Structure 1
Amino acid sequence: MASVVMGIIGGIAAWSLAVFKDPTQASVLHHHALSELKPLLSPNASIHLPCSEGFQTAMDRWTRWKNPEFDVIVEVVTEDDVSKAVQYANQQEQQFLAISGGHGGTKHLGDVEHGVGIWMRKMDGVQVHEDGCSATTGGGVLSKKVVDALWEEGKQTVIGACECTGAIAPALGGGHGWLQGRHGLLADQILSARLVLANGTAVTVSSSSHPDLFWAIRGAGHNFGIVTDMQYKVYDRTPQNEKWAMETLTFSGTKLEEVLQELNEMMKQYHDVVELAHWTEVLWLSQVDPKLSPLSHDTFLTDLRGLAAPLMMDNDGAACQHGSAYLRFPFGGSEYNIEGLRIAYDTLAALPPKLNQSWIISEGYSMRGVQSVPAESTAFPDRYNSLLMAVFMVYSPEDEALDQQAAEYGEAMRDDVVKSSGDGLQAYVNYAFGDESQEALYGYESWRLDRLQKLKALYDPDGRFNFYNPILT
């Protein structure tokens, strides 16, 4: 049976393979990478060719759908390595793509063919500055390492819910997280970044250096360069702000309307409670007994490091496991559209058996800190919707016949909710499927998209960064 799982999280006082079409050409490219590029790299950087262990590890992505294809993987260690890899790809007229956590899921990634993969995993340092108010992290660091490293220094910052994703890429698309009610989005924490541009040059991007790019990378950053390191705000953890109470409740699908109505009322009543966040997940739980109400109820007392596990977002949880095809269809909302979500729920409950691992997720974080930042100050377009929702279609990648079927179901469920709400689609770029309009991804204000398109034409005129929901000019 399909069920609704609701997690309420609050502060301690609150509620809580590369495929080579031409083997001869591939061989030449491999030889050239080893003979021409490798000598230009730093001593600890590496070149990985297909069939090597390093190549396969770098290619191991979260979703087995629309994956990029690479001829060579460059494992970088320094910013200069990144620049050299970009310049090499340009000289060879090959596409390139940076790799960190491997959680990107847009269909545009499948447009990378015979590319150069720039593997960032060794650029994962985290250093708190002497001022105690900021830190610098490398371009390939994962979210869990940021949380743990800061915690050891008595600090914390806004970070996403999932431990195994890269920490930088979510910030480039805005970035939602547990502490956003107090401090704003991940993107709002950025003080400066080192960015390798499409021509291979590296620049500092901040409010005083390339301020136009600084505006753009905070919401549409995947389009403009590769971040080699980022300086961002950090905050003291104190006995008053480091503990979280958490409740998880599971309900039968017959309770959908009651649960969503209660959540809508909760969001109105506790709108200004910065510590309060909630998640809902609609999924199949065949083992539950529908006679109970709620079907289960668990409570936890934890800190920022422990919030991921109960939501299956930790490194050992379901959200971090590789091997399935995942398609995401995001949409926003200021409240739960109960009528539309009932239609979507009924569609989910009637999915064919091969698709019944799919679910609908909603992330409801406090928006006070997000909305305190002027909307025009960054490229992130959606500071008004308090709910980040998405349909996740999940199935075995061995059955390619399911690709189209899964996409049709996912789009239909999203469309049902959006149409029922009467609002236009606002699609979170980090979750985007890839069929969304430019306006849905980057904002309906004409000035916003116009500004982004002009910056794209200036900094990436040849579309070298067109493989993650590109801004089209």
Structure 2
Amino acid sequence: MHPDRQWSPDTYVSFPGSQEFEQSTERWTTFSAPTYRAAISPATEEDVAKIVKLATCRNIPFLATSGRHGYTTTLGDLQNGLAIDLSQLNSFELDTTAETLTVGPGVTVGEVFDPLFNAGFDIQTGSAPCPSLIGVTLGGGVGRYQGVYGLIADALVSVRMVTAHGDIIEVSEDSYPDLFWGIRGAGSNFGIITSATYKLHPLTEDGDTFIAEFIVSAEGSPEYFHTLEAMQPLPAELSSIMLITSNPVTNATQTLVHWVYKGREADALAALAPILALDIEVTAMMSVPWNEMVGAAFGGVVEEICIHNINRDLYSFNLKNYAAETYVESFNKMHDYFMEYPAGRNSVLQFEFFPNQAMEAFPQNYTAFPWRDTTGYINFNIIYDAAEEETAAASTALGLELRDDLVATSGFPELTVFVSYAHGDEKLEQIYGADKLPHLAALKKEWDPLEVFSYNNGIPTEYP
């Protein structure tokens, strides 16, 4: 239904029980999800500002989302609130002369691939096509290209933003530079981004990437893990995603491996020589243009990864040291879990090994993102029917155990986690970094003193 005339004609409000409401609120994961009494889908930036003013004036708690692919248990703190669905703000402007891309929050990562490639550009992206590009950026934006280009947030030129007071401002190095620092790594805390402009990279090697994928048996996994450890640090152009899973046909625990090299096949094969020397099953070996790289991973499984309304729980953390023996122990614990709890066999222990040369080359205080020395991100993706209470309890216990085990050899003195992967039970220092928090808290006090933007791993207005 359309609200009264204060809104633009295409802005609409929806309520529980309607198809429009479901489309405006359905999430990638139903675990610890927020609940809403109503949803509003603004069609203009001006309407976003009006919504924020109205909600704050009437003390209505709200959450602004677009792809709704984000995860943290703190989102569940919002109950019976207002959903602000940003999916209609899907503007897309490619400036080939300035080599920039400007998008709205309704544009997903996957929607930029083909237009950029066809125009002769690429950009650092995340590992899945379904999240909002802006949503991924706000946490910093890690991915396969961070060794070559840095974080997605490092490509950010400017944003347009609605503040907690309902003002519309442009934020960049030249306009509110302090706030621009904060939104690149902790951006969910300060306002609603209505558009963002990114600096692009001209294609290199015609945009070629080389993909190599393997299935490693339980017997072969220890040798694979030790080979991987010996390969660190990875070349800037080479990244990998490794999954410890249960085979859906045989129920055997296995390791699935995806490698991507940004460049030509000959260079990729040289970089992958230690892996290619192993006696493991090859499932893919091919060159693809970079715009097809994400979709081609694991035989196109990303379509399943992007399905909404699945009960998913995550325990995640950073690493900068590869530890083969810890991976062997984790493999064995995953095997025992799969055998004892069949309802959890869709769960996955995922390792993202992303080199950090370009990411770490930026000054440590260039943005609010605190973990530029990270070279890997581990995620225990727990997937089970919410009614399976025994599996739920065992999964939580295993998630905490794996996190403790793997953090102990991560190279960090304690748990650290990329904010977009945070479970929600971590200390603020483990998410944002103790050295960043005083500055972030001061920004929070200035730009969001009532803490209306605090459901996504919220920052306090005072620290310590």
Matched, 1:372 2:338: no
1:348–1:358 CA contact under 8 A, matched in 2? no
What residue is the counterpart of 1:389 in the other structure?
A: 378
User: Deviation digits for residues 296-330 of structure 1, max 9, x if unmatched?
Assistant: 43212211222223435968622112242111111
Match of 2:232 among 247, 267, 275: 267
Matched, 1:285 2:247: yes
Tell me: CA distance 1:313–1:376, structure 2 relative to 1, closer, same or farther (3 Å): farther
Tell me: CA distance 1:195–1:463, structure 2 relative to 1, closer, same or farther (3 Å): same
Q: Distance in 2 between matches of 1:295 and 1:154?
A: 35
Q: Give the residue type in structure 1 aligned to 2:241.
A: W
Match of 1:339 among 325, 333, 346: 325
> Higher relative contact order by CA 8 Å / sep ≥ 6: 1 or 2?
1
User: Is there any run of 5+ residues in structure 2 with no aligned partner, and where?
Assistant: 255-277
Q: Distance in 2 between matches of 1:241 and 1:334?
A: 31
What residue is the counterpart of 2:310 in the other structure?
A: 324
1:164–1:315 CA contact under 8 A, matched in 2? no
Tell me: CA distance 1:290–1:403, structure 2 relative to 1, closer, same or farther (3 Å): closer
What residue is the counterpart of 2:260 in the other structure?
A: none
1:128–1:136 CA contact under 8 A, matched in 2? yes
Q: Distance in 1 between matches of 2:321 and 2:229?
A: 6
Matched, 1:243 2:232: no
Match of 2:88 among 106, 122, 134: 122
* Structure 1 segment 457-468 matched on structure 2, within 5 A: 457-468=445-456
2:190–2:453 CA contact under 8 A, matched in 1? yes
CA RMSD of aligned residues (A): 2.2
Match of 1:359 among 336, 348, 351: 348
Tell me: CA distance 1:290–1:452, structure 2 relative to 1, closer, same or farther (3 Å): closer
User: Deviation digits for residues 312-357 of structure 1, max 9, x if unmatched?
Assistant: 5968622112242111111111232223323322221111112121
Shift of 1:120: 0.9
Tell me: CA distance 1:241–1:179, structure 2 relative to 1, closer, same or farther (3 Å): farther
Higher alpha-carbon deviation: 175-184 or 191-200? 175-184
* Structure 1 segment 38-437 matched on structure 2, within 5 A: 38-238=4-204, 240-268=205-233, 271=234, 273-287=235-249, 293-312=279-298, 317-351=303-337, 352-399=341-388, 402-421=391-410, 423-437=413-427
Tell me: CA distance 1:320–1:254, structure 2 relative to 1, closer, same or farther (3 Å): same
TM-score (norm. length: structure 2):
0.88
1:124–1:140 CA contact under 8 A, matched in 2? yes
SS in 1 for 2:415: coil
User: Deviation digits for residues 39-75 of structure 1, max 9, x if unmatched?
Assistant: 2211111111221111011222111111111111111
Q: Distance in 1 between matches of 2:12 and 2:354?
A: 41
Tell me the matched-pair count: 433
Higher alpha-carbon deviation: 315-324 or 378-387? 315-324
Q: Give the residue type in structure 1 aligned to 2:307.
A: Q
What residue is the counterpart of 1:25 in the other structure?
A: none
SS in 2 for 1:204: strand
What residue is the counterpart of 1:13 in the other structure?
A: none
Shift of 1:137: 0.6
Q: Distance in 2 between matches of 1:243 and 1:453?
A: 43
2:240–2:354 CA contact under 8 A, matched in 1? yes
What residue is the counterpart of 1:19 in the other structure?
A: none
2:66–2:85 CA contact under 8 A, matched in 1? yes
SS in 2 for 1:44: coil
TM-score (norm. length: structure 1):
0.86
SS in 2 for 1:366: coil
1:314–1:320 CA contact under 8 A, matched in 2? no
Tell me: CA distance 1:377–1:41, structure 2 relative to 1, closer, same or farther (3 Å): same
User: Deviation digits for residues 11-53 of structure 1, max 9, x if unmatched?
Assistant: xxxxxxxxxxxxxxxxxxxxxx976xx4221111111122111
Tell me: CA distance 1:180–1:293, structure 2 relative to 1, closer, same or farther (3 Å): same
Q: Distance in 1 between matches of 2:442 and 2:450?
A: 13
What residue is the counterpart of 1:24 in the other structure?
A: none
Shift of 1:163: 0.7
Shift of 1:255: 2.7
SS in 2 for 1:253: coil
Matched, 1:443 2:441: no
Percent identity reads 29
SS in 2 for 1:393: strand
1:161–1:313 CA contact under 8 A, matched in 2? no
Q: Give the residue type in structure 1 aligned to 2:446.
A: L
Shift of 1:123: 1.1
Q: Distance in 1 between matches of 2:301 and 2:212?
A: 21
Q: Distance in 1 between matches of 2:167 and 2:389?
A: 40
